[in-house]
Amino acid sequence: MAEKIVIFGGTFDPVHIGHIEVAQAAAENIGAKKVVLVPARRSPHKQQRPVASDKDRIAMLKLAVMDKNLFQISPIELNRAEPSYTIDTIRHFKQQFGEGCELFWLIGADMLESLPKWHKIDELMSECNICVMNRGGFEKPDFNRLTSSLNIENIKKLRKNTIETPKINISSTEIRQRLMTGGDVSGLTCPAVLNYIQKHNLYSFDHQLSKNEEF
Ligand code: ATP
């Protein structure tokens, strides 16, 4: 039987408990023994740059999964020129893991609306399974809204590939905002990641000011 591999792309700025918990639940649901976390250099779907550097985001991911064998981290998108497209990442993993593997690309429900605009979406959907997960704090995925932008077969596929995952209402934005204003973020990301953030003074008001000066 084909090996099932979950690929989870994101900015991970920073990685939080929601990312890890839903990815674990999705892998269990799918029957995959491997989840590859793929930090994005810059999301074509978000205008803002990541606040933390590539090096810091990778370091935090490593800390978040250090005791979890399920996870691997791939720098593929960080090493590629911008803009970086999901279809290229999927083709890279097909080559790396072999054509026989079955790839599952996870997205949170908040990403569904932008999905039809993803580069070469029809090819992407024929080369991997896009799996939509519920996301705490967001509405349930509404596939009817895609009827004018995606073909009916692909909408059917997305419906079929919806994965029930725990609803965890945490976002990286909330963590960054709380840190900027000196708020408490315990319980939103793991202690090792939090230590790293504090040690490197990431996301503080001063850090954001000096980042803005770079542009
Ligand atoms: P930001 O607040 O900076 O936009 P984020 O919390 O959405 O960040 P990303 O790294 O941008 O995190 O997300 C990567 C992927 O993980 C996206 O598909 C997103 O929908 C999904 N995701 C993030 N947080 C959750 C969550 N709590 N539950 C389910 N999916 C999530």
Render pLDDT for 75-98 as a digit per residue (tens, 0 to 9).
999 999 888 899 999 999 999 999
Q: Is 111 in the pocket of ligand 1 (CB under 6 A)?
A: yes
Strand order across the beta sheet in which 71-73 lies:
71-73, 34-39, 4-10, 102-108, 129-133
Strand partners, 129: 104
Which atom number of ligand 1 is nearest to the Cα of residue 17? Answer: 27
The single-letter DSSP state of residue 113 is G
Average pLDDT along the chain: 92
CB 13 within 8 A of CB 110: no
User: Pick the residue with more confidence: 208 or 109?
Assistant: 109
Could you give the 3-state DSSP secondary structure of residue 103?
A: strand
Angle between helices 191-199 and 54-64 (to 10 degrees): 150
The best mutation among 8, 16, 19 to test binding of ligand 1, ranked by most ligand atoms within 8 Å of the C-beta, falls on 19
Q: Is 163 in the pocket of ligand 1 (CB under 6 A)?
A: no
Q: Is 189 in the pocket of ligand 1 (CB under 6 A)?
A: no
User: Pick the residue with more confidence: 139 or 215?
Assistant: 139
The single-letter DSSP state of residue 139 is P
Q: Rounded to an integer, what distance in angstroms lies between the CA atom of residue 173 and that of residue 180?
A: 10
Q: Is 168 in the pocket of ligand 1 (CB under 6 A)?
A: yes
Distance from chain centroid for Cα 45? 12
Q: Is 20 in the pocket of ligand 1 (CB under 6 A)?
A: no
Q: What is the pLDDT of residues 147-187, one digit of tens each?
A: 999 999 999 999 999 999 999 999 999 999 999 998 999 99
Q: What is the pLDDT of residues 111-131, one digit of tens each?
A: 999 999 999 999 999 999 999
Which atom number of ligand 1 is nearest to the Cα of residue 46? Answer: 4
Whether 215 has a pLDDT exceeding 50, the answer reads no
Provide the pLDDT for residue 43.
Answer: 57
The single-letter DSSP state of residue 116 is G
Whether 210 has a pLDDT exceeding 80, the answer reads no
Whether 105 has a pLDDT exceeding 60, the answer reads yes
Give me the domains of the chain, ranges plus CATH numbers. 4-170 (3.40.50.620)
Q: Rounded to an integer, what distance in angstroms lies between the CA atom of residue 138 and that of residue 141?
A: 9
Backbone angles phi, psi at 155, to 5 degrees: -65, -40
Provide the pLDDT for residue 209.
Answer: 54
Q: Is 11 in the pocket of ligand 1 (CB under 6 A)?
A: yes
Q: Is 14 in the pocket of ligand 1 (CB under 6 A)?
A: no
